[in-house]
Amino acid sequence: MKAAATRVFAPLRQEPAYRRVAAEIGARITARELPAGQPLPTELELAGQFAVTRSTVREALRELESAGLVARGRGTKRMVVARPSAAGMAARVSQSLALQEVTVREVWEALTVLGPASAALAAQQRKPADLQRVAAAVQAYAEARDTDALLAAVGAFFDALEGATGNRALVAAQRPLLPLLEHSLRLLIDRVPQARPRIALAQRRIHEALQRRDRAAAQDWMAKHVRDFRRGFDVAGIGLDTRVDLPPAG
């Protein structure tokens, strides 16, 4: 009996035409062959170039627009090349993590890896404007009178700290965690009275370390801050495998 031939090639992916058009245009944009602000050809011209229908092109452009790679030109129907905003990319990653049912444990572990290193780098790289942003977040937390304001101030503190690193790759890695961190804190902040003053103390000490450019102190206090986050769930009796859900938009 003849042995079955060894598979060498995988089956071709069957994708809708609009996906292939979107992938081709998107590849040109991400390769920077099409600079930001450059108008794309009209739908009719694109349909002719790709040998597809205008409706296929229109659907491809909708997909690219939702990804932030193209946008409607001001005062015209023509699409122009765009660059996705950092905030928009972070929001999409946050939503994806929530849909994957990320847990409190996973958020804490990510902060354990990224938080202390970011604080140390921020102490080294920070500029006067960065210190002002961190100080404003510390002050906002101290003045918060309700849970929503308090959690927003926590997010602002981490956001300012990440910005102070001057490292866009690190910011992109950490920023999607902030909505998940805020929601995780919402689960325990009103059940653990000591959490609020301990957060305030950690923020002040980290800010002081940044002022002195003290990498070691910034790293140590952030490590303590993240450990307190973990300990708060134990005190509140909330399991670390609790799923982190994002609040509905609006």
Q: What letters, b where the CB count within 10 A reaches 16 and e where it falls short, cover 113-125?
A: ebbbebbbbbbee
**Which of 36, 60, 81 is the C-terminal boundary of a domain?**
81
- The winner for highest mean pLDDT among 30-39, 87-96, 119-128, 239-248 is 119-128
Closest CA to 122 of 212, 200, 45: 212
DSSP code at position 223: H
Is the domain of 182 the same as that of 61? Answer: no
Would you say 76 and 93 are in contact if contact means Cβ atoms under 8 Å apart?
no
Examine residue 146 and state whether it is found in any structural domain, yes or no: yes
Examine residue 27 and state whether it is found in any structural domain, yes or no: yes
Residue matched to tokens 């296929």: 56
Q: What amino acid is encoded at 103 in this protein? A: T
pLDDT average, residue stretch 116-144: 97
Examine residue 103 and state whether it is found in any structural domain, yes or no: yes
Length of the chain: 250
Examine residue 247 and state whether it is found in any structural domain, yes or no: no
Query: In this structure, what token pair is assigned to residue 23?
Result: 């992938």
**Which of 81, 101, 132 is the C-terminal boundary of a domain?**
81
Query: pLDDT tens digits, residue range 160-190?
Result: 999 999 999 999 889 999 999 999 999 999 8
Q: What amino acid is encoded at 218 in this protein? A: A
Closest CA to 115 of 188, 170, 196, 179: 170
17 has pLDDT over 70: yes
Would you say 34 and 81 are in contact if contact means Cβ atoms under 8 Å apart?
yes
pLDDT mean across residues, the chain: 91
**Which of 81, 101, 129 is the C-terminal boundary of a domain?**
81
DSSP code at position 39: B
Examine residue 52 and state whether it is found in any structural domain, yes or no: yes
Examine residue 246 and state whether it is found in any structural domain, yes or no: no
Q: How confident is the model at residue 246 (pLDDT cuts 50, 70, 90)?
A: confident
Q: Name, in order, each residue with C-beta under 8 angstroms of 14's C-beta and a sequence gap of 6 or more.
A: none
Domain that holds residue 58: 17-81
Is the domain of 74 the same as that of 97? Answer: no
Residue matched to tokens 């910011």: 171
Examine residue 183 and state whether it is found in any structural domain, yes or no: yes
Q: Give the pLDDT confidence score for residue 12 in this predicted structure.
A: 59
**Mutual orientation of helices 215-236 and 104-125 as an angle, nearest 10°?**
160
Q: Give the pLDDT confidence score for residue 67 in this predicted structure.
A: 87
pLDDT average, residue stretch 69-82: 85
Helix (H, G, I), strand (E, B) or coil at 99: helix
Alpha-helical regions (H) of 31-146: 43-50, 54-66, 86-99, 104-125, 128-143
What's the number of domains the chain is made of? 2
Examine residue 5 and state whether it is found in any structural domain, yes or no: no
Is the domain of 208 the same as that of 186? Answer: yes
Q: What is the CATH number of the domain that holds 229?
A: 1.20.120.530
pTM for this one?
0.79
Q: What is the CATH number of the domain that holds 25?
A: 1.10.10.10
